[in-house]
Structure 1
Amino acid sequence: MTTVNVNEIALGIESFGDDDAPLVLLAGGTTMLSWPDALCEHLAAGGRRVVRYDLRDSGESTTADPEAPAYTLRDLAADAAALADALGGGPAHLAGIGVGGMVAQVAALDHPGAFSALTLAGTRAVAPGPPDDDLPDHDQATMSRLFAHPMPDWTDREAVAEFAAAGAEILGDDPVAARAIAARIWDRTPGTAPPVQMANQMGMVFSRLDCKPRWRERLPEIKMPTLVVHGRRDRFFPVGNGEAIAREIPGARLLVLEEAAAAIPDAAAGEVAEAMLTLG
């Protein structure tokens, strides 16, 4: 792992595969570890240079004040384009997961020349907050259970990992995998202050981010090959959100993972990688 300086900030990155191969850039949601190792390895084995990266205020990237971010969603989109340019090799296949999928949508719209293909995983076409009337919101029973779960002692690595495992079980994800990933995220988090930990573990910085103006109405402008990946059992962003994106981006392919929830399980990594590789 290393960092690359763009737009006067540092972005933490990790690379897989041949440096001279076509670039697949994976925007974290919010950390790079939202993208499974197995998926990165499958893509690299398919002849791609894979670079996954941390968004601002997470992982090895510049951390300032997650409670009052001095940047917008469009700044994060500009980071993706600048990083693709800094890494070289021509337009990149950009992929975003969760809130990183929001970054990827805006990046594809605002900086189309930087990207050759787009993958959107477990995301939706509107900013955090109440969705449009035709889009399914978070499952309320699930959210009630999540918010009833007390916050951990953020200075305690094991407590944070247990908190993540309990949340994953509520969301329908693999608690064993979630525990391991949370421990890795904790090890990479620059400090144990609750706002910083919550930005890394839960992406809470997005609730304070300026995400205006809307971009959903612009989705038909996306002309690059697009893959939309969504878990059938996703209770956080229910599958109707992915279905809407696939309808509104011309020619987009929808891949529904029947046994998945919010996270991409290792068991589906090969299927997702194969679908991504067909885009270019």
Structure 2
Amino acid sequence: MEHVISVGAVELCVDSFGAQTDETVLLVAGTSCSMEWWPARFCRMLADRGMFVIRFDQRDTGRASFDPPGQPSYSLPDLVSDAIGVLDHFDTGPAHWVGFSQGGWVSQLAALDHPERVRSLTLLSTRATGHGPADPDLPEVADSLLAAWDETSAEPDWGDPEEVIRSLIEGERSIAGEDFDEAHAHAIAESCVHRAHQIRSAVTNHPMADQGPRWRDRLGTIAAPCLILHGTPDPMFPFGNAEALEREIPRARLAGLEGVGHELPPRVWGRVVASISRHVRSASESS
């Protein structure tokens, strides 16, 4: 059952699935994403394979503490500390971190700065650098996505929940791969909008937050086994970003998700859950 916890001066909302005696899997969502972006059915699929699954609202999302829109008071390393605080609340040992997009950056930093808390990494649809321009050797956001952003640059009426929901759905459509699942996107967007303390802060603040020190040059020191799952036509972080992570993180293994964009559509949940389950089991047996 979800509940609000205090991590220092910050309130975060957490939720869990499965038996706490099983291996702990911490799900870290992407930019501006609350726990709803890890749907309960996906979490139960992991728990049914013998994992204790934790999801949570990051700062500025869902029922967590929030700053005024456009004024984030935290940095990316602070989001790492928040995630560690979530694990402390559940009194877990080392966890298996599953990070999507920005959550992948949080997970990489956790493995670098708190290796004793990271038993394994699964990096979904992410890259080795934070918000802002990619390194010159990494592929940038696809031209098609830049064009879509230009067409929808106006902010929605934040006082109109239905307009905000439509805006979020169109944002998901722009980063999707083949066979966009609009019903799935609508369900998540609707839940996020109606559940959030301040949806404008959720959408606005994460990309503006201080990214902290560069970490790509340290990836070679990551000791945790790493699985990388990445959509082959991802327009946000094209596939070359995943290939760079595989080259630069020791023991990393990359698996492409054909036809998947910068998303986690229900049609691939079975494969993703099976891959995470095998990875968690292998990492647990070798630790």
Measure the CA separation in 2 of the matches of 1:96 and 1:53.
12
Instruction: State whether residues 27 and 94 of structure 1, in contact with CA within 8 Å, keep that contact through their aligned partners in structure 2.
Output: yes
The one-character-per-residue Cα deviations of 1:23-73 (angstroms, maximum 9, x if unpaired) are 101112231122233321211000111111111111111112342222211
Question: 1:122 touches 1:262 (CA, 8 Å); kept in 2?
Answer: yes
Aligned equivalent of 2:90: 87
Cα drift, residue 170 of structure 1: 2.4
How far apart, in 2, do the equivalents of 1:147 and 1:179 lie?
22
Distance 1:243 1:38 in 2: 30
Q: TM-score, normalization: structure 2?
A: 0.90
Aligned AA for 1:125? Answer: A
Partner SS for 2:207: helix
1:184 aligns with 2:185: no
SS in 2 for 1:256: strand
| Aligned position for 1:117 | 120
In 2, are the aligned partners of 1:168 and 1:174 still within 8 Å (CA)? no
Q: Give the distance between the partners of 1:113 and 1:272, measured in 2 at CA.
A: 25
5 Å-filtered alignment, 1:20-169, equals: 20-29=21-30, 30-149=33-152, 150-169=154-173
Mapped to 2, the partners of 1:117 and 1:154 lie a distance apart of 39
Deviates more, 1:264-273 or 1:2-11: 2-11
Q: Which amino acid aligns with 1:166?
A: E
Which string of whole-angstrom CA distances, capped at 9 and with x for unpartnered residues, describes residues 122-142 of structure 1? Answer: 111111011001111111232
The equivalent of 1:238 in structure 2 is: 238
SS of structure 1 residue aligned to 2:211 = coil
Cα pair 2:97 2:121 within 8 Å, conserved? yes
Is the CA contact 1:232–1:261 (under 8 Å) kept in the aligned structure 2?
Answer: yes
Give the Å deviation of 1:19. 2.6
Give the Cα separation in 1 of the matches to 2:218 and 2:106.
Answer: 14
Q: Which residue of 1 aligns with 2:175?
A: 171
Q: 1:199 to 1:255 in 2, by over 3 A?
A: farther
Deviation string for 1:50-99 (max 9, x for gaps)? 11111111111111234222221111111112221221231111111111
Q: Which range moves more in the overlay, 144-153 or 25-34?
A: 144-153
In the alignment, is residue 4 of structure 1 matched against residue 2 of structure 2?
no
- Give the gaps of 5 or more residues in structure 2: 281-287
Structure 1 moving runs of 4+ over 4 Å: none
Q: 2:34, 2:137 → 1: CA distance?
A: 29
Q: Report what 2:252 is aligned to.
A: 252
Per the alignment, residue 207 of structure 2 pairs with: 207
Q: Distance in 2 between matches of 1:34 and 1:246?
A: 25
User: 1:194 aligns to what?
Assistant: none
**Which residue of the partner structure matches residue 229 of structure 2?**
229
Structure 1: give runs of 5+ residues left out of the alignment.
192-196
Q: C-alpha separation between the residues in 2 aligned to 1:199 and 1:269?
A: 29
Structure 2 CA distance for aligned equivalents of residues 174 and 232 of structure 1 = 17
- What secondary structure does 1:244 align onto? helix
> Quick one: percent identity of the two aligned structures?
37
Q: Distance in 2 between matches of 1:131 and 1:159?
A: 31
